[in-house]
Every structure is written in C-alpha cells, then in structure tokens.
C-alpha cells in the first residue's frame, strides 16, 4: 500500500539514503533540520513521520552543548505539537541513539550486549558531551507523553560510502598522510551498521504494524575491536605503517564495548543486518581512491 511519509533531516547521510528507497514505493515529503525550528510551522499531513534531523557533530557537544539540547528537543517538540492537533495522527518514527544507555553501562560495568530494557541514567552534570544523549532521551520522553503512536530507534554506529567523516575515513587518511596511525582505545569492541541495513530496517518498520509503540536497538552484528578494523584497512591497502596505540578515555561517557542486543527487532519485524563489514570497507576504499 502506498503511504505518505514525511522525512526530516533530508540533507543528512541517513535521510538521503532513506528517501531514495522510499520514493520507489511511497509519496515522500521532506525537510532539512533548519526548517523545523519555527513553533508555528506547518507540516504535511501524512501516515508516517520519520524524524532523523538532529545536531550531531562531535565538536558541537563540546562547544555548544546548550544549542545541541535546544535544537534537538525543540524540533521534536514542534513536530509533536503539530501532529497531536491533527485529526488523523501519523505514526512517529524517531531516530534516537544508543548513547542514551552509556551512563548505565558504565555505572553497572555491563559487558554483555545492550538491550532496550536498561534503565536510563544521567549523573554527569558538568559533562558537556552528554548533551547529545540527553537531548535524544528528552525527545524519547516527549514522544511517550504525547500519546502519538511511535517507534523509537536506538541507533548504534552507522557507516556507508556517502558518509564524509567516520572512523574508517579517518584511518584511511592517516595511512595516506601520516608516518604512524594513532589509534585511541584500540581494544574497544564495536559493531558497525551499514546505512543500507538501517534504511531496510526503517522500511520494514513502516510495513509492519507490530512495530508500533516499541523501542528497538538497530546495529550491526559483527563485533571487532578498533585495532582489528585498522589492521583490516592496512591489509586492504597493502600498507606496513605502524599503529601507535593510546588507551585514552576522553570523557566519562566513553563506553569501551558497544554491542547491541538485536533479539527484539529480529523477533518483531524479522530484521537482521546483512551487509558484511569487509564489503563495506571495500566500498569506502573504492570511493576514497576515486577522490
């Protein structure tokens, strides 16, 4: 069935990839982050809202934490207030983050895969980098209180060929420009989710009403340390450059291991990631070689 879908953050990495897929089957409306700030803004009447827009740059968390909170929360609140007033209310799909669980994982020293039932804890009052996670959790609470039907996605590390700056591109740049590769927290275990898998998951959520009023982890299912991934890139580039390891924790929110428990999303909508990390690395290296 053809649906009307409104996607925010249309100029972003995930938004661009999602809109390409949605347009093949559905009627799509879109706005960038800048278009969401006005309180009395009018938005399209649709079946689904996919709210991806956010202030997310790492530098903003350090320099402008209040702006991060204000931008992310106010844009979400504007959307909620508009759609609460509509006779036909859409299902509100919200792109949250796995970072909302960072504090509880650190506090409880959790090492097993992170599920959706963990309590949320914020206790670092002076930690500016907490602003992004806090803003996303504030949005989650507002969505719950709005009484709109919703789906909340706690998204883990995501990558893809169109992403301009990520861990992979940083390592590739170091290999091409520096004498040594500086690798912080090399033993951190992380999964990586390809944007193709993420957008496929959102499409399945839209087509499956069982997903309504649920919180889902969305992440990769291949676990590697940052050191292992760096070695993979070195091997693919046939480089013999040395890795300088630094076991540095820049802030209290750093979580050494970030592995999602994906049982819930697999059970309810029958989704699991398909993209192999080796193929993803080849894709990124191919693009980098062209540039």
Say what the pLDDT of residue 261 is: 97
Interval 156-186: pLDDT, tens: 999 998 888 889 999 999 998 888 898 888 8
> Is the Cα dihedral 113, 117, 120, 121 positive or negative?
negative
Alpha-carbon span 46 to 7, nearest angstrom: 10
Give the pLDDT mean for 231-241: 93
The CATH number given to whatever domain includes residue 91 is 3.40.50.720
Structural domain includes residue 12: yes
Structural domain includes residue 209: yes
Residue among 3, 217, 206 nearest 92 (CA): 206
Give the pLDDT mean for 123-132: 78
Say what the pLDDT of residue 58 is: 62
Please give the helix or strand (H or E) that residue 289 lies within, else none.
helix 277-290
How sure is the predictor about 49, in pLDDT bands with cuts at 50, 70 and 90?
very high
Interval 102-120: pLDDT, tens: 888 888 888 889 999 999 9
Structural domain includes residue 92: yes
Say what the pLDDT of residue 179 is: 83
Structural domain includes residue 28: yes
Give the pLDDT mean for 207-213: 96
Say what the pLDDT of residue 59 is: 60
* Domain range for 18: 4-160+192-221+257-274
Structural domain includes residue 117: yes
* DSSP per-residue letters across 137-166: HHHHHHHHHHT--EEEEEE--EE-TT-SSS
The DSSP code for 87 is: S
Structural domain includes residue 34: yes
pTM assigned to the model: 0.93
Alpha-carbon span 39 to 270, nearest angstrom: 38
- Count of domains in the chain? 1
Structural domain includes residue 248: no
More confident residue, 239 or 40: 239
Structural domain includes residue 55: yes
Interval 237-251: pLDDT, tens: 999 989 888 765 554
Q: Does residue 260 register a pLDDT over 60? A: yes
Interval 50-73: pLDDT, tens: 999 998 766 655 678 889 999 999
Alpha-carbon span 159 to 104, nearest angstrom: 25
Say what the pLDDT of residue 23 is: 97
């Amino acid at each position: 069935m053809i649906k009307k879908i409104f996607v925010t953050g249309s100029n972003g990495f995930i938004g661009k990839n999602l809109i390409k897929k949605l347009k093949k089957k559905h009627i799509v409306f879109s706005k960038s982050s800048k278009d969401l700030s006005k309180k009395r803004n009018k938005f399209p009447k649709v079946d689904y809202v996919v709210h991806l827009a956010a202030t997310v740059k790492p530098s903003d968390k350090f320099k402008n934490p209040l702006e991060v909170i204000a931008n992310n929360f106010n844009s979400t609140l504007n959307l909620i207030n508009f759609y609460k007033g509509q006779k036909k209310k859409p299902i509100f799909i919200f792109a949250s983050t796995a970072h909302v669980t960072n504090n509880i994982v650190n506090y409880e020293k959790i090492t097993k895969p992170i599920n959706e039932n963990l309590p949320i804890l914020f206790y670092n009052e002076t930690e500016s980098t907490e602003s992004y996670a806090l803003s996303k959790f504030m949005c989650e609470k507002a969505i719950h209180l709005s009484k709109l039907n919703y789906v909340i996605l706690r998204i883990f590390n995501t990558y893809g060929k169109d992403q301009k700056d990520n861990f992979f591109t940083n390592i590739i740049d170091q290999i091409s420009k520096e004498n040594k590769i500086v690798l912080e927290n090399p033993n951190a275990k992380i999964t990586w989710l390809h944007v193709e898998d993420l957008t496929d998951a959102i499409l399945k959520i839209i087509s499956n009403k069982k997903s309504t009023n649920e919180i889902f982890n969305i992440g990769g299912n291949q676990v590697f340390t940052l050191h292992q991934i760096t070695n993979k890139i070195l091997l693919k580039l046939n480089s013999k450059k040395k890795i300088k390891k630094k076991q540095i924790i820049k802030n209290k929110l750093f979580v050494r291991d970030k592995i999602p428990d994906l049982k819930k999303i697999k059970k309810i909508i029958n989704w699991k990631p398909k993209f192999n990390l080796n193929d993803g690395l080849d894709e990124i290296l191919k693009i980098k070689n062209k540039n």
